[in-house]
Amino acid sequence: MAKMVHSCIRVLDDVKSADWYKSAFELEIADQLDFDAFRLTYLKNETTGFELELTLNKERKSPYDLGDGYGHLAVTVANLEHDHARLEKLGIETGDIVDFAPAGRRVARFFFATDPDGYKIEVIERGGRFR
């Protein structure tokens, strides 16, 4: 059986991005591999072995086109209102809290936070299938 180990996003400033993910979600640098043309920075925290890989292409000067696809990363938190307020206080762009309950049955409560490169990170309240 396959085991998911990381997901990659491309960034313009890996130091700024690593700082953002540390402030927002307590992700620490687990490893960093530096090559001539690019650098890979792996972030994680103690809650999971899954890592976020920040890929810095050293010659890249313009922002990446994120396209119109709706891919995103998601994290869970114990107290959605607390983390929404905390991220706003840090100056992080956040969307409204959404109580997603089609047909009256709650599927999830969440909001999105935007990282320095424009990626939308879904922040979901723990519970149900999102532990």
Domain that holds residue 25: 1-59
Name which of 64, 41, 52 is nearest 7 in CA terms.
52
Q: What is the pLDDT of residues 14-39, one digit of tens each?
A: 999 999 999 999 999 999 999 999 99
User: Tokens 């979901």 label which residue?
Assistant: 124
Q: Both 76 and 124 in a single domain?
A: yes
Q: Both 40 and 18 in a single domain?
A: yes
Q: Both 46 and 1 in a single domain?
A: yes
Name which of 99, 126, 122 is nearest 111 in CA terms.
122
59, 84, 103: which is the final residue of a domain?
59
pLDDT at residue 125, as a whole number: 95
pLDDT at residue 68, as a whole number: 82
pLDDT at residue 127, as a whole number: 86
CATH number of domain containing 128? 3.10.180.10
The number of folded domains in the chain is 2
Q: Are 49 and 30 in contact (CB under 8 A)?
A: no
pLDDT at residue 106, as a whole number: 84
51 CB neighbour count, 10 Å cutoff:
19
What residues pair up with 7 in beta bridges, in sequence order?
A: 52
pLDDT at residue 104, as a whole number: 85
59, 87, 108: which is the final residue of a domain?
59
Q: What is the pLDDT of residues 35-75, one digit of tens each?
A: 999 999 999 999 999 999 999 999 999 999 988 887 899 99
Q: What is the pLDDT of residues 80-116, one digit of tens each?
A: 999 999 999 999 999 999 999 888 888 899 999 999 9
Q: What is the pTM of this model?
A: 0.90
Domain contains 88: yes
Q: Both 28 and 50 in a single domain?
A: yes
Q: Both 45 and 86 in a single domain?
A: no
